[in-house]
Amino acid sequence: MSRQNKVIVDEAEGYVTAKLAGHWFALPISAVHEVFLLTRITTVPQSPPGIIGVLNLRGRLVTAVDTRQILGFSPAANELTMAIGIERQNELFGLAVDQMGDVLRSSSAEREPAPMNLDRRWREIVTGVQRSDGHLVLIVAVDRLFDNVVTLASA
In angstroms, the Cα distances linking 150 to 47, 88, 111, 127, 137 are 12, 12, 28, 19, 24
Mean pLDDT of 57-65: 94
pLDDT exceeds cutoff 80 at 3: no
Look at residue 65 in the predicted model and tell me its pLDDT.
Answer: 93
Q: Structural domain boundaries of the chain?
A: 19-153
Which residues contact residue 81 at a Cβ distance below 8 angstroms, ignoring those fewer than 6 apart?
37, 38, 39
Cα separation, 133 vs 104, whole angstroms: 10
Mean pLDDT of 93-116: 90
Per DSSP, the three-state class of 145 is helix
Q: 15-53: per-residue pLDDT in tens?
A: 999 999 999 999 999 999 999 999 899 999 998 888 999
CATH of the domain spanning 19-153, picked from 2.40.40.20, 3.10.290.10, 2.40.30.10, 2.40.50.180: 2.40.50.180
Look at residue 5 in the predicted model and tell me its pLDDT.
Answer: 40
Q: How confident is the model at residue 11 (pLDDT cuts 50, 70, 90)?
A: low
**Mean per-residue pLDDT of the chain:** 85
